[in-house]
Amino acid sequence: RDFQQTDIKYLSKWKKWKKTRSKSLKKVLSEAKGLSSYLVLWRRDIHSIEGTFGTGIQSYFSFLRFLVLLNFIIFILMFSFVTLPTIIYDYGIFNSTVANVSPKNIEYNCTIYEPSGNKGLVYFYTYLQDLLSGTGFLELTRLFYGYYTVDAVWISVVRYNLPLAYLLATFAYLALSLFWIIKRSVEGFKQNLVHDADPFQTYCNKVFAGWDFCITDPNAARLKHHSLRYELQMDLEEERLKQKIADRTIKEKLQIYSLRIFINIIVLAILSGCFYSIYRVTVFSQEKSNVSIRNDIRTDLANLLVQYLPSIVITLANFIGPQIFSFLIKFEDYLPAFEITLTLMRCVFLRLANIGVLLFSLWSQISDCVDDKCEPCGYNYKLYPCWESDVGQEMYKLMIFDFIIILAVTMFVDFPRKLLVTHCSCKPLQWFGLPEFRISDNVLEIIYGQTICWIGTFFSPLLPAIATIKYFIIFYIKKFSLIHTQKPADKPIRASSSKFFFLLVLLIGLLLAFVPVGVSIASIPSSKACGPFRNFNTSWEVVPDIIHKFPKDLQRILFGMASEAFAVPLLMV
């Protein structure tokens, strides 16, 4: 400092002013950054959780906050470019009008779409059923794809191409999610590389830098002591197992590999059983849910149950599958760290593949062309006159049911269990104890919901708004659950590795979402009775239609960029 002060004496007035201005600017930016931190959502709540339960559990709530923000941005994107132009037209703002092009070379039967809106006297429970299933009055709202049956909106003298805007907004929200997740993953990946270095380095990290100085609660401090001791024990156990593996005879190796193959066959059989059940239930639900008489309470309740059958079966599979996987992994004799990773990856595959099987089941019904059902529309128009809205309704039901289950488990399972364990000295109850707040299970739960949102947004543009509200409420449900009905896990996971793992699984979910959305856009014929793409064979055809209006040289460049020879290597990069 003395050296710098001496230097300043010999500087010119201009350089002195520049140096003073630079310092002032840094100070202003620092103050602004400090003030902006007060605007961060749930800042105090997350700091409080971090101080009481440590950084591992705090990383889950920070991840939940990230998803709330991500869904809110996606909602703003879809609302601004898809929903807002239709609102401007409906209310005649800026002297706006709508341009609808009459369908060309399309059979009249393909253009018939009569949503089952409520007519005449409607009972309250019918509205409740519609709210839960996305049918009735809700099917006719901006929530679903079928509402946006507009070719263009004239806002004053500007022609707004809604089909192109719809497609570009879809690409934009998927690209935004991809880049944002990758950006957040980089930091966690660097930390993960440090922690996965040689055993001696990780041992030193635990001994000399393992303490979490955010903890202020004595119980949390005891928990952290236990956590560090557990990690050191696991490291020693891992070294012992590595030595044991190295000393195995050929006979022992053959035995353990045979057992692992047998257990993996069981796992594949369980997964196949889950997938087949979802497929059969989805087909049954789609065939039966449309054949019911409304305004009869017993029929309506039965119809609601039939509509929710796929969601119920998927939820049961997501609950039972991981329990079986956790039991079977004990017999495979893996290292503790790999044991946790393999179980989690099996659970991730089960949850995300269940959504894929549901969509495959729907597509198999939509594309069921036996007995010329698809003629002349290219899809099963009798059962699915507006198939995009039907897929949107399925995603909507999955999201609503997932939220209901999370709320019900907290209120009607965990809370009564807490009361019984606290106020009853019965030995079996005390042996069961309080349920653990398992970070990995909770993360898989919300990633499953986020994958549904990514897939469903193309078919239901306002689904991100529902997801934002859902995760906002889930934050408080989980906070209540953590503080009042559950206890932190005895075997916690490290915050740095958990953040990277959360984002990795979220990235897998996003990549899975690319497939159904891409197939729907590029492969399946778009509905001819509803939606902005009814005048195109597929949703993608709006792009070449626009490009054909450009100059010839620009057309050649753009078509070259859209070719497989250019697009596939770019996608791989």
Q: Based on the domain organization, do 420 and 561 belong to the same domain?
A: no
Per-residue pLDDT tens digits for 416-438: 888 887 777 777 777 777 777 87
Q: Outline where 247-296 has alpha helix (H).
A: 250-288
Count: domains in the chain: 2
Q: Is-contact 348 505, C-beta < 8 A? A: yes
Contacts of 484 by beta carbon, 8 Å cutoff, 6+ apart: 415, 418
Please indicate, yes or no, if residue 254 is contained in any of the structural domains. Answer: no
pLDDT of residue 16: 76
Strand, coil or helix: what is 197?
Answer: coil
199 has a pLDDT exceeding 70: no
Q: Specify whether the CB–CB gap between 471 and 73 falls below 8 A.
A: no
% of the chain beyond a pLDDT of 90: 16
8 Å CB contact between 406 and 470: no
Residue 548 shares a structural domain with residue 439: no
**CA torsion 52→197→66→397, rounded to 10°?**
-100
For residues 431, 433, 439, 442, the Cα torsion angle rounded to the nearest 10 degrees is: 110
Under 8 Å between Cβ of 448 and 455: no
Q: How far is CA 98 from CA 140, 215, 232, 393, in A?
A: 18, 60, 68, 27
Within 10 angstroms of residue 303's Cβ, the number of other Cβ atoms is 22
**What angle, rounded to 10 degrees, do the helices at 218-246 and 199-209 form?**
170
Of how many residues is the chain composed? 573
| Residue 434 contacts residue 418 (beta carbons within 8 Å) | yes
Contacts of 437 (CB under 8 A, 6+ apart): 57, 481, 482, 486, 487, 488, 489
| For residue 293, pLDDT beyond 50 | no
| pLDDT at res. 80 | 92
Is pLDDT of 7 > 90? no
Global pTM value: 0.82
Contact in structure between 58 and 215 (CB atoms under 8 Å): no
Nearest-angstrom CA–CA distance, 83 and 97: 15
Asked whether residue 242 is assigned to any structural domain, the reply reads no
CA dihedral 450, 452, 454, 456 (to 10 degrees): -150
- Pair (139, 151) in one structural domain: yes
Residues 135 and 198 in one domain: yes
- If asked whether residues 400 and 549 sit together in one domain, one would say no
| 8 A C-beta contact, residue 414 and residue 481 | yes
Tell me: pLDDT of 138 over 80: yes
Residues 85 and 184 reside in one and the same domain: yes
Residues 108 and 123 in one domain: yes
Whether residue 314 is contained in a domain is answered as: no
Query: 234 CB contacts (<8 Å, ≥6 apart)?
Result: 336, 337
Same domain? For 431 and 555 the reply is no
Both 550 and 462 in a single domain? no
pLDDT per residue as tens digits for the range 148-170: 888 888 877 788 888 889 999 99
**CA 162 to CA 141: how far, in whole Å?**
17
Q: What does the alpha-carbon distance between residue 195 and residue 494 come to, in Å, rounded to a whole number?
A: 10
Check: CB of residue 343 under 8 Å from CB of residue 322.
yes
Q: Print the domain residue range for 557.
A: 540-572
Q: In what order do the strands lie in the sheet with 152-155?
A: 97-99, 152-155, 158-160
- Structural tokens at position 495: 């915050």
Q: What angle do CA 276, 280, 286 make, to 5 degrees?
A: 145
Residues 503 and 556 in one domain: no
Domain assignment present for 210: yes
Are the CB atoms for 518 and 510 separated by under 8 Å?
no
Identify whether 39 is part of a domain.
no
Spell 425-446 as b/e; 16+ CB within 10 A means b.
eeeeeeeeeebebbbbebbbbb
Q: Nearest Cα to 571, choosing from 181, 168, 171, 185?
A: 171
Q: Is there a single domain that holds both residue 477 and residue 544?
A: no
pLDDT tens for 59-96 read: 888 889 999 999 999 999 999 999 998 888 888 777 77
| Closest listed residue to residue 328, CA positions, set 347, 309, 312 | 347
Per-residue pLDDT tens digits for 511-535: 989 988 988 888 888 888 888 888 8
Please state the rounded mean pLDDT for residues 33-60: 77
Rounded CA gap, 178 and 450, in Å? 13
Q: Which pLDDT does position 25 carry in this prediction?
A: 86
Please name the residue that has the structure tokens 């922690």.
195
DSSP conformation class of 458: T
User: Do 126 and 154 belong to one domain?
Assistant: yes
As a whole number of angstroms, the distance between CA 483 and CA 61 comes to 13
Asked whether residue 80 is assigned to any structural domain, the reply reads yes
Dist CA 186 CA 80 (whole Å): 30
Question: In this structure, is residue 362 part of a structural domain?
Answer: no
Amino acid at 280: R
Distance CA 382, CA 285 (A): 16
Q: Note the pLDDT tens digit of each residue in 88-135.
A: 888 877 777 776 666 666 777 777 777 765 555 556 667 777 788 777
Contact 534, 552 (CB under 8 A): no
- Taking only the tens place, the pLDDT of each residue in 542-572 is 888 888 888 888 888 887 876 667 767 877 7
Q: What is the spatial distance between Cα 56 and Cα 496, in angstroms, rounded to a whole number?
A: 8
Q: Is residue 550 part of a domain?
A: yes
